[in-house]
């Protein structure tokens, strides 16, 4: 006999995702979490990059969580930040076609790293915890036509590193090593594990 739909609610405390990213919303929804969204508005440029990508995304995720958590001190707020790193430099979102072509050229036929940091914060309990996860992503050898075609899909422009692994961009990704959801924007396995450790969810 198959039991369907008898799943208990995975979390009872209020969860808030401090991100406007539709991809993070999708990942948390697919993971079975119930949550509200309140996007954080912080000045990311005010945080200098010191050369440690794991530390950097944790600092940014904490700043994002804090910006929202102070408004909802008794809820658990989740902030997150994702960066693409190649040759020790961060690739941001390409601002135009030229920048997109340049980024895709840098990623072409080699391995780069994607780091996501997340922070879970509840001010009323004086609790804040951050964590960073790294995934390595290998691009296949792309032809100039493939790069140009991909830039024309419009997909690069709102994404760190200029590509989306969950969209058309999947054709460029030969393999990954590590967490897939981490590349999309939130490492689901590690997030759920951390929520369970904090007793925010129970199985």
Q: What are the residue numbers of the active site?
A: 81
Smallest distance, a copy of itself to C-beta of residue 184, A: 10
Q: Which stretch binds a copy of itself (CB under 8 A): 25-33, 42-50, 64-72, 114-122?
A: 25-33
Per CB under 8 A, does 46 bind a copy of itself? Answer: no
Please give the C-alpha separations between residue 165 and each of 12, 36, 96, in angstroms, as whole numbers: 32, 25, 19
Stretch (H or E) spanning 86: strand 76-86
24 is written with which tokens? 């993070």
Per CB under 8 A, does 12 bind a copy of itself? Answer: no
Q: Which stretch binds a copy of itself (CB under 8 A): 51-59, 67-75, 110-118, 186-194?
A: 186-194
Please give the C-alpha separations between residue 202 and each of 76, 191, 193, in angstroms, as whole numbers: 15, 13, 10
Pair 73, 126: CB distance under 8 Å: no
* DSSP code string of 152-169: HTTGGGGSGGG--TTSGG
Per CB under 8 A, does 41 bind a copy of itself? Answer: no
Q: Which stretch binds a copy of itself (CB under 8 A): 17-25, 102-110, 113-121, 163-171?
A: 163-171
Query: Site residues for a copy of itself, window 77-136 (CB under 8 A)?
Result: 96-97, 135
Burial (CB count <10 Å: 0-12, 13-18, 19+), residue 107: buried
Residue numbers of the site for a copy of itself (CB under 8 A)? 1-8, 27, 30-32, 96-97, 135, 140, 143, 145-146, 148-149, 151-154, 157, 165-168, 170-181, 188-189, 192-193, 202-203
């Amino acid at each position: 006999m198959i039991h369907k739909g008898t799943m208990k609610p995975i979390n009872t405390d209020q969860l808030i995702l401090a991100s406007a990213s539709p991809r993070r919303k999708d990942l948390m929804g697919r993971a079975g979490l119930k949550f509200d969204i309140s996007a954080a508005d912080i000045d990311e440029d005010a945080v200098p990059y010191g050369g440690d990508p794991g530390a950097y995304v944790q600092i940014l995720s904490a700043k994002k969580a804090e910006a929202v958590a102070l408004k909802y001190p008794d809820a658990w707020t989740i902030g997150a930040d994702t960066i693409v790193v190649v040759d020790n430099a961060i690739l941001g979102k390409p601002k135009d076609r030229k920048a997109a072509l340049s980024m895709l050229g840098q990623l072409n036929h080699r391995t780069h790293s994607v780091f996501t940091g997340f922070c879970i914060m509840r001010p009323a309990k004086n609790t804040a915890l951050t964590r960073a996860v790294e995934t390595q992503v290998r691009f296949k050898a792309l032809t100039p036509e493939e790069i140009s075609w991909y830039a024309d899909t419009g997909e690069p422009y709102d994404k760190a590193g200029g590509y989306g692994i969950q969209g058309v961009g999947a054709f460029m990704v030969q393999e990954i090593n590590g967490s897939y959801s981490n590349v999309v924007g939130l490492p689901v396995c590690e997030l759920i594990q951390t929520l369970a450790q904090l007793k925010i969810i129970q199985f």
